[in-house]
Structure 1
Amino acid sequence: MGIEIRPADVYADVRAVIGPKRPESNVCFCLSYRIGSAENTRLREPERSERVRGLCAEDPPPGVLAYLDGEPVGWAAVHPRAGTSFARNRKIPHIDDLDVWSLWCFRVRPGHRGAGVVHALATGAVEFARANGAPAIEGYPVDNTGESVHQTMAYVGTRSVFERAGFSWAADTDSVLAGFRRVVMRLDLRGAP
């Protein structure tokens, strides 16, 4: 069976991929770009998990999950930019006033890396955004020109991942992650099949 992409509306599956491994641990839980900075700093477990549980119950849910043989193995955060901190980020420019969606985080569980999960997630995120009426979708990956990106900083994706999913370069940014400049990659979904 191949990789299947589904909306991230099952909290237990989201937790299995991006949640804390120990109940007392505080992890990003992909909230850093999704909620305000003050709330993100203040939230600790178990409130952090409850915040994510609430997002999973929203329409649309906070992203997509990759499943392999029914097991959740990957995550991608994708949501309307207006509902993220990218709406007010000074280092990542807005190309225009279109109500674009943002794709900003990938996570693949150990043991499943290198199996095409990130590429499936990128394509699935595009389809998810399209199905929810997005006119365009953007990502803000590092432009690493083929150089290795440390695993802890690879969560934003690489330019080549986005290019393979049909995105094109749209702008440079003032944001740097792991020594690599981030770029705005964009895919127009208006009139797309």
Structure 2
Amino acid sequence: MPTITTEVATTARWDDVQRALTGGGDGASCQCIWPLLRNKDWNETTTPQRTEMLRAEIDEGPPPGIIAYVDGEAAGWIRLGPRTKQGRLPHTRIIAAATEQPFDDESVWAVTCFVVRREHRGKGLNGELLRAGVDYARESGARLIEGYAVDAAENHSVNDLYHGVLSTFLSAGFTKTAELKPGRTLVTMELHS
């Protein structure tokens, strides 16, 4: 049985962040910057610019994500943090229409991206990343976490799964809060000290 551990994404772990993001899917080109930028701004960036943006975000802190390791090797990533720092969210109509939380509330966090390297898929890394993310959010003073889950029972492309699968959120204790659109659900978890 492999040993799975997690660590917050700090400057010292930059190479691990890159390894986690570059093992399949869009992580290598996106650099997990998609949740931060509106479409116009996103379309004006290149992959090297996104890489530098993520590096600057990690260097500035606080860490915007968590890395999962399998037997010491970087294998997965989750982006989470205050919604106030994820500029795309208030401009995404389905999210803005479904949430009851004000977008200027720094105590509301969002989980916006999961990436797992191909060779480590199917080992439960998303669940481990989400549990570590909940702990990190709680320790950081978050009051509530939102996710924008994909129902894997519906027909979705593999690339849509970066939002996180509904069953992963429900297993971690999140509650279905609203339907965003068919096959996508707003899930929330209230955090208590």
* Global fold match (TM > 0.5): yes
Q: Which residue matches 2:32?
A: 30
2:157 equivalent to 1:150: yes
Q: Which of 95, 99, 107 is the aligned partner of 1:94?
A: 99
Q: Which residue matches 2:3?
A: 2
Task: Return closer, same or farther for 1:110/1:95 CA change in 2, 3 Å cut-off.
Answer: same
Q: What SS is found at the alignment partner of 1:118?
A: helix
2:130 equivalent to 1:122: yes
Gaps of 5+ in 2: none
Q: What letter corresponds to residue 3 of structure 1 in structure 2?
A: I
Whether the aligned pair in 2 keeps the contact of 1:106 and 1:155 (CA below 8 Å) is: yes
For the residues of structure 2 that align with 1:87 and 1:100, how far apart are their CA atoms?
A: 12
Gaps of 5+ in 1: 175-179
Q: What letter corresponds to residue 129 of structure 2 in structure 1?
A: L
Displacement, 1:20? 8.7
2:104 equivalent to 1:103: no
Q: What letter corresponds to residue 94 of structure 2 in structure 1?
A: K
Q: Which residue matches 1:58?
A: 60
Identity of aligned residues (%): 33
Task: Return closer, same or farther for 1:129/1:18 CA change in 2, 3 Å cut-off.
Answer: same
Q: What SS is found at the alignment partner of 2:31?
A: coil
Q: Which residue matches 1:136?
A: 144
RMSD: 2.2
Displacement, 1:43? 1.5
> Which structure features the higher share of helix residues?
2
Taking structure 1 as the reference length, what is the TM-score of the superposition?
A: 0.85
